[in-house]
Amino acid sequence: MTNAAQGTTGNRQVRLKSRPTGIPQAEHFEIVTVPRVEPAQDEVEIQNLWLSVDPAMRGWVNAAANYAKPVDVGAVMKSYAVGRIVKSRHRNWEVGALVTGLFGWQEWATVDAKVIERRLTDRMLQGLDPSAGLGILGLNGATAYFGLLDIGKPRPGDTVVVSAAAGSVGSCVGQIAKLAGCRTVGIAGGAVKTRLCLDKFGFDAAVDYKSPSFLADLKAAVPDGVDVYFDNTSGPITDAVIARINPRSRIIICGTVAHESWDPPPPGLRIERPFMVTRSRMEGFVALDYADQWDLAFKRLARWILDGKIVYQEEILAGLEAAPDSIAGMYRGENLGKRLIRLAHAA
């Protein structure tokens, strides 16, 4: 291992200082330094290289019921990370292995080896940076792949609409839909992001939901209606898209970034009638349900990247200091692509 791995005794961590009711802001976190912890039997110590920032982290710190227990106040902020094993007391995990899992917002993580979700092999990464294991070859890529193909079931000629289209999941959805022969329409906030959708991610049309002409622009962008809607936002964008759904349309409920809080639940339109009239389907989706098939998706996504059929974009923040404000920044729409934090020892 590196001299740094052997010589450093302190571990800087980002801890939850107080519980937010909506979107966690910088003041809800604090950075502390604690000693590194020697791994016990069946544990490993991991030097984190890349930390992930995900919209779901809002739900991980809110008290309102979610699909996981909220992070305790005073605990290290839960997050996906990519790191390298520097010490191992587990027979299946060797020092030097590049791994990913919920290692938290910290520089060094001593965890039960069961916390490791995957090994990032050269074969899987295909020459891409290990950070891809948190985005296109990680949760975001798997979300786009299985959400669109398994729930959305796109057919050639379908119109596929995607919200948060310039983001990590949305940009991938649009490109997979294009490969499936669909007409793609991205919805994103502001001119920079709609341009990105058109110029980099190849959407056939892009609509700015922040524009006063949003409803008219959306109508013009989907002259034949909407067959598949990949919903990353909920809120007014979704209300507008549902008004344009075709018979037998499929709506994938992937995320709800448009809402600060679900306690109490935000008000919205009644949707039963358009769904009954069009015989449409709306289905909730969680990518982790497909965990046993993720490798298949990563193989195909990596192939498409190498063949130049799809592209991805990362937005890299420098150092642990960037973490406390990074979730709020995503909700302000600051990120252009997959938001990541690069720690000092990342190559």
Minimum CB separation of residue 11 from ligand NAP in Å reads 27
Binding region for ligand NAP (CB under 6 A) out of 34-42, 99-107, 163-171, 212-220: 163-171
Binding residue (CB under 6 A) for ligand NAP from 12, 15, 193, 250: 193
Place of tokens 């679900």: 262
Please report the sign of the dihedral spanned by the C-alpha atoms of residue 332, residue 337, residue 341, residue 342. negative
Question: Would you call 9 exposed, middle or buried from its count of C-beta atoms within 10 A (0-12, 13-18, 19+)?
Answer: exposed
The string of DSSP letters for 175-206 reads HHHHHTT-EEEEEESSHHHHHHHHHTS--SEE
Does 139 sit near ligand NAP (CB under 6 A)?
Answer: yes
Closer by beta carbon to ligand NAP, 139 or else 148: 139
Residues 244-263 that bind ligand NAP (CB under 6 A): 254-255, 257-258
Does 333 sit near ligand NAP (CB under 6 A)?
Answer: yes
Does 151 sit near ligand NAP (CB under 6 A)?
Answer: no
Closer by beta carbon to ligand NAP, 188 or else 242: 188
Which residue in 178, 128, 186, 126 sits closest to 161, CA to CA?
A: 186
Residues 298-327 that bind ligand NAP (CB under 6 A): none
Q: Which phi and psi (to 5°) does residue 54 adopt?
A: -130, 145
Which residue in 59, 5, 17 sits closest to 263, CA to CA?
A: 59
Does 22 sit near ligand NAP (CB under 6 A)?
Answer: no
Does 170 sit near ligand NAP (CB under 6 A)?
Answer: yes
Does 168 sit near ligand NAP (CB under 6 A)?
Answer: yes
Rounded Cα distance, 131 and 13, in Å: 20
**Coil vs helix vs strand at 72:** coil
Does 143 sit near ligand NAP (CB under 6 A)?
Answer: yes
Name the amino acid, one letter, at 319.
G
Does 183 sit near ligand NAP (CB under 6 A)?
Answer: no
Minimum CB separation of residue 240 from ligand NAP in Å reads 11
What is the pattern of x (binds ligand NAP, CB under 6 A) and - over residues 70-109? ----------------------------------------
**Structure tokens that stand for 56 in this block:** 């779901």
Does 164 sit near ligand NAP (CB under 6 A)?
Answer: yes
Those residues with Cβ within 8 angstroms of residue 267's Cβ, 6 or more apart along the chain or in another chain: none
Does 133 sit near ligand NAP (CB under 6 A)?
Answer: no
Do 102 and 266 meet the contact criterion of CB atoms below 8 Å apart? Answer: no
Question: ω before 247 within 30° of 0 (cis)?
Answer: no
Minimum CB separation of residue 91 from ligand NAP in Å reads 32
Does 140 sit near ligand NAP (CB under 6 A)?
Answer: yes
Does 55 sit near ligand NAP (CB under 6 A)?
Answer: yes
Find how far residue 101's CA is from the centre of its chain. Answer: 14
Minimum CB separation of residue 340 from ligand NAP in Å reads 11
Please report the sign of the dihedral spanned by the C-alpha atoms of residue 102, residue 85, residue 141, residue 331. positive
**Structure tokens that stand for 91 in this block:** 């027979």
Number of residues binding to ligand NAP, judged by CB under 6 A: 30
Residues that bind ligand NAP (CB under 6 A): 54-56, 139-140, 143, 164, 166-170, 188-189, 193, 232-233, 235, 237, 254-255, 257-258, 285-287, 330-331, 333, 335
